[in-house]
C-alpha cells in the first residue's frame, strides 16, 4: 500500500507544471510595459471582449477602492462587454487611460510572474466632444506567466482622486 501511495505521489509531481522561469527585473520591465499597454488599449480603445478574456487568468481577482471585488474572468469580461455596448451610442461617455511616465515599477515574483505598480490618469469625453482630465489612481497588478503567456491575475486599483495638476 505504501508503494502505491508513493507511486501516485510521484506521478502527480511529474504531471505538475514546473514553475515559470521569470526574467530578471531589467528584462522584465519592457515585457510588463508592453502587457500593460495591450491590456489598457484593449479595455479603453478596442472594445474586444474575446481579446480581454485572453489577457486575464481564469481565477482573476480585480479589487477596486470604489467598486469592490470583481472575481473571475467571466464576471470581469461580462462587465466589460456591457460597457462596450453602452459606448456604441453616439452621445456615450468614452474614457482614455494614460500611464504617468516614470511611475511604473516592476518586481519579479519567482516562479509566478511579476508585480507592476504605477499611477495613471483618466480622461473622458462625451460623444465626439472635448476630452477632459477627470481623475488619477494608483494600481498594483500581478501578471502571471502561464504557458508562455503573461496574463493579469490580480489587480488592485486604488487611491482614485479627482484630477490635479499638482502631481500625478
Query: What CATH code would you report for 24-162?
Result: 3.10.450.50
Residues 6+ apart with CB under 8 A from 114: 22, 28, 31, 32, 106, 107, 108, 142, 143, 145, 150
90-119: pLDDT as tens digits: 999 999 999 999 999 999 999 999 999 999
Q: Give residue for cell 511579476.
A: 114
Residue 3 has pLDDT above 50, yes or no: no
Share of the chain above pLDDT 70, in %: 86
Q: What is the mean pLDDT of residues 87-91?
A: 93
- Pair type for strands 113-126 and 56-64: unpaired
Q: Indicate the domain borders of the chain.
A: 24-162
Residue 57 has pLDDT above 90, yes or no: yes
* pLDDT-wise least confident of 6-15, 24-33, 121-130, 136-145: 6-15
The answer to whether the CB of 79 falls within 8 A of the CB of 53 is no
DSSP string, 35-49: HHHHHHHIIIII--H
Report the candidate in 153, 160, 137 with the shortest Cα–Cα distance to residue 32. 153
Q: What is the pTM of this model?
A: 0.83
| pLDDT computed for residue 18 by the predictor | 65
Amino acid at each position: 500500500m505504501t508503494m502505491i501511495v508513493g507511486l501516485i505521489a510521484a506521478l502527480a509531481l511529474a504531471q505538475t507544471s514546473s514553475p515559470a522561469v521569470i526574467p530578471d527585473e531589467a528584462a522584465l520591465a519592457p515585457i510588463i510595459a508592453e502587457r500593460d499597454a495591450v491590456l489598457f488599449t484593449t479595455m479603453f480603445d478596442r472594445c474586444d471582449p474575446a481579446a480581454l478574456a485572453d489577457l486575464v487568468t481564469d481565477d482573476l481577482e480585480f479589487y477596486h477602492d470604489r467598486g469592490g471585488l470583481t472575481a473571475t474572468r467571466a464576471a470581469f469580461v461580462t462587465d466589460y462587454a456591457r460597457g462596450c455596448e453602452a459606448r456604441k451610442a453616439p452621445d456615450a461617455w468614452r474614457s482614455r487611460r494614460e500611464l504617468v511616465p516614470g511611475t511604473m515599477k516592476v518586481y519579479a515574483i519567482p516562479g509566478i510572474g511579476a508585480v507592476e505598480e504605477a499611477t495613471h490618469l483618466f480622461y473622458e469625453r462625451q460623444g465626439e466632444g472635448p476630452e477632459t482630465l477627470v481623475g488619477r489612481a494608483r494600481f498594483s497588478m500581478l501578471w502571471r506567466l502561464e504557458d508562455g503567456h503573461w496574463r493579469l491575475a490580480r489587480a488592485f486599483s486604488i487611491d482614485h482622486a479627482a484630477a490635479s495638476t499638482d502631481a500625478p
